Structures are given as structure tokens and as C-alpha cells.
Amino acid sequence: MSRPVPNPGILDIAPYTPGKTPVPEPGRKVFKLSANETPFGPSPKAIEAFKNVATHLEDYPEGTSRVLREAIGRSFGLDPNRIICGAGSDEILNLLAHTYLSQGDEAISTTHGFLVYPIATMAVGAKNVIAQETNLTCDVDAILKAVTPKTKLVWLANPNNPTGTYVPFDEVKRLRAGLPSHVLLVLDAAYCDYVSRNDYEMGIELVATTENTVVTHTFSKIHGLAALRIGWMFGPEHIIDAVNRIRGPFNVSTPAMYAAVAAIEDTAHQAMSKQFTETWRNWLTEEIGKLGLKVTPGVANFVLIHFPEKGTTSDAADAYLTKRGLVLRALKNYGLPHSLRMTIGTEEANRLVVDGLRDFLAGK
Ligand SMILES: *Cc1c(COP(=O)(O)O)cnc(C)c1O
């Protein structure tokens, strides 16, 4: 008997394996440092805005996220008509794949790129092409070499997750200049708010001056609104128009919209979080380095810790820290089987991780 068959490519997607449920020893407080969430939560003003709309949950949202597009426009100096909002930037990445890729097309991402990219690519039957990184960093020449006549799209998280490394803006411009003009370049700036480097930009200038580049951003990281699922994209008018045609008419909820408006306007909350993250990223990099473990120098809100391939393995370290209530992210499905990613947490959490790693390495 015949039965429904998924479209080509769907069953090639590795099924999503959820993070393990941490079971620490009795009496240990649990610190979730595995999903790059902020230890501060959202701005109190965002929580207040969220509560204020709870009195009208019977009404459909305004379908174009107008108040939020205007707030983003004010905050970044952008035309709100060139912004689209989504249920997380994940939704927007998938909408881009649906709009610009089909069976037989190729999309390029890098060795340790964000896992949503291959899923979005393969979900529409396109081929996921991997460009090799150099020193866990995107290599523009490798991407350009991977281009074929079938290439339609390039995914680039800058800074990247899970490596935490970034590409200087000059290199991003060189990538754009080297790609054929019909190839869409997607710059995913989920972590841009944490970067303070003179040679970094999220890419707004490039989007504003080309017809084939978009930048996506999220409220899940520095704004602390991951639970509400809200992200946005800035792009050329013709791309916004095309994506709007397949977007769900009410894809962003009213509470998400208003909480995000309050969050983006609370610049003090963002500045505090950025400063804290930088201080503790430096501290963690140095202290973990002193223990003899390699840490990739990152610019986002997490650190990437490398373990030897034999002996003191990352699996054992992960299990040891988990018992102490410290939940980091193992990266096997990112092709980094000997590394753990640690989201920068509260001062208490950060100190406990360093103490935990020290005890682990001492065989305690
Ligand atoms: C966290 C993250 C996002 C944000 O996803 P949302 O769907 O907006 O929560 C996007 N890109 C990368 C690389 C991320 O790590």
C-alpha cells in the first residue's frame, strides 16, 4: 500500500536532538549555560509592556508588526518599509530559503555554521554546500571557491555560533563583491550587540547599498526575549516584498511586538549587559586558559572551550560539570566533538565553572 512520502531532502535532515535534561547532585543550583540566553532577563520595561497587552488577548495582532518596525527603524536609522519581523529570526531564515531556493539549487554555509542553515536549505530540497573555515573562522576565499552555477544563497553568521569568531566588515564586502549578483547573501547578526571591534559592522551599509544582501537580527540574545520568538530582517525592497508574500499574516504576536519595542528602547539595559559580557568573557578566557585548556577568542556572549582528544575528554568534563548543576553545550552535531560551548552567565555561575573545571582537571 502506498503512503504519503516527504519531499526530497526532508529525510536527509538529521533529526533535532534536544539538549539533555540536567540532573545535578541533590542540593545543587542549576545554571543553564547551554543556549546563549542572557543571565539578566529582559528589560523590566519589556516585561511591563508584555503584561499590559494581556488584557486583549482575543484580538489578532497588527499583521505587519508596524510599531516594532518603526521602533527598529528609529533605533538603527532604517526605513521601516524595508524591515520584516518574524517569529524568531529562525522563521525569517526559513522564509528566505522558501523564497529563494528550490530543488537542485545550492546554498553555502561554513564548517561550523549555525545548524538552522542546513535545515532551512534541505527543507526546500536544495543542497547544503560546506565551505571550510580557517582557525574556526569563516574563510571568504573558501566560500568564493565553493560557488557553482547552482549557488543561490550564502549563509553567514557574523559573529558565528558556536565558534564565537567574526569576519571584519572589509572581508564581508569582499565576499559580496566576489559573489555573482544573483546570489543572496544572508548576514545573521544575532550576536552583533556584543561586539566592540573597530573593524566589525553588522552589515547595514552593505544592505542599504546593494540589491542582493539582507541582515537578520534577533530579540533572543541581548534583549532576553527568546521565549517570545521575535526577530527581524532589513533588506532591499524587492526582497522584503517577496518574503512578505509567503509570511504568515499574523506571524508575530502582540505581546512579542510590544515587549520588543520596550526592549530596543532600553539602551541602558543593553549597555549594562554588553559591558558585563565583555568583562566576564575576558575573565573566563584567561582563567580557563590558565587551567591549560584552549579557548577560542570570541566576541559574542559565549566561550568555546577545547579539550584534549584523549584522556581528559569533553564528554567527561560535561558530565562532571552537569553533576554540579553547570549545563554547557556539547557540540558533536556541530562537528566539534572535543569542545564545549559555555554561555557567559552570572558572576556566580562563571566562577563555579572555572572552579569545576579546575577540580575536574585535578581529578577530584
Ligand atoms: C540564537 C541565534 C539566532 C536567533 O534565533 P531566534 O530564532 O531569533 O531565537 C540566530 N542565529 C544564530 C547564529 C543564533 O545563534
Residues 108, 146 contacting (CB under 8 angstroms) = yes
- In whole angstroms, give the CA distance from residue 65 to residue 159: 27
C-alpha cell at 3: 503512503
Query: pLDDT class for 18, splitting at 50, 70, 90?
Result: low
Average pLDDT over every residue of 145-160: 98
Query: pLDDT class for 309, splitting at 50, 70, 90?
Result: confident
Q: Which residues have C-beta within 8 Å of that of residue 47, sequence separation ≥ 6?
A: 41, 259
157 CB within 6 A, ligand 1: yes
Find the largest Cα–Cα distance for the chain.
Answer: 63
- Per DSSP, the residues of 250-264 read T-S-HHHHHHHHHHH
Q: Which residues have C-beta within 8 Å of that of residue 311, sequence separation ≥ 6?
A: none
| 255 pLDDT more than 70 | yes
Residues 88, 216 contacting (CB under 8 angstroms) = no
Query: pLDDT class for 15, splitting at 50, 70, 90?
Result: confident
Average pLDDT over every residue of 241-265: 98
Q: Please give the distance, rounded to the nearest whole angstrom, from the Cα atom of residue 35 to the centre of ligand 1.
A: 10
Task: Round the average pLDDT of the chain to a whole number and report it.
Answer: 96
Can you give the residue ranges of every domain in the chain? 18-41+268-361, 45-265
Query: pLDDT class for 328, splitting at 50, 70, 90?
Result: very high
37 CB within 6 A, ligand 1: no
220 CB within 6 A, ligand 1: yes
| 26 pLDDT more than 90 | no
255 CB within 6 A, ligand 1: no
- 139 or 25: whose pLDDT is higher? 139
Residues 191, 221 contacting (CB under 8 angstroms) = yes
| 23 pLDDT more than 80 | no
Query: pLDDT class for 25, splitting at 50, 70, 90?
Result: confident
pLDDT at 52: 96
95 CB within 6 A, ligand 1: no
The top-level CATH class assigned to 18-41+268-361 is: alpha beta
- In whole angstroms, give the CA distance from residue 134 to residue 156: 14
* Burial class (CB within 10 angstroms; exposed 0-12, middle 13-18, buried 19+) of 117: buried
109 CB within 6 A, ligand 1: no
In this structure, the number of other CB atoms found within 10 A of the CB of residue 212 comes to: 19
Torsion of CA 64, 123, 336, 331, to 10 degrees: 60
Distances (CA, A) of 56 to 50, 59, 203, 354: 11, 6, 37, 47
C-alpha cell at 338: 572535543
Q: Please give the distance, rounded to the nearest whole angstrom, from the Cα atom of residue 25 to the centre of ligand 1.
A: 31
Q: Please give the distance, rounded to the nearest whole angstrom, from the Cα atom of residue 100 to the centre of ligand 1.
A: 20
199-242 pLDDT, tens per residue?
999 999 999 999 999 999 999 999 999 999 999 999 999 999 99
Q: Please give the distance, rounded to the nearest whole angstrom, from the Cα atom of residue 276 to the centre of ligand 1.
A: 21
| 364 pLDDT more than 90 | no
Among 95, 114, 251, name the best residue to mutate to test ligand 1's pocket (greatest count of ligand atoms within 8 A of Cβ).
Answer: 114
pLDDT at 61: 98
pLDDT at 67: 98
| 349 pLDDT more than 90 | yes
Residues 38, 221 contacting (CB under 8 angstroms) = yes
First vs last C-alpha separation in the chain:
59
Q: Which residues have C-beta within 8 Å of that of residue 329, sequence separation ≥ 6?
A: 19, 33, 34, 35, 162, 340, 341, 342, 343
- In whole angstroms, give the CA distance from residue 285 to residue 46: 32
The three state secondary structure string of 170-200 is: HHHHHHHHHCCCCCEEEEECCCHHHCCCCCC
Which residue, chain included where needed, has cell 524568531? 88
CATH number belonging to domain 45-265: 3.40.640.10
261-296 pLDDT, tens per residue?
999 999 999 999 999 999 999 999 999 999 999 999
| 96 pLDDT more than 80 | yes
33-53 pLDDT, tens per residue?
999 999 999 999 999 999 999
pLDDT at 83: 98
C-alpha cell at 252: 508575530
- pTM beyond 0.75: the answer is yes
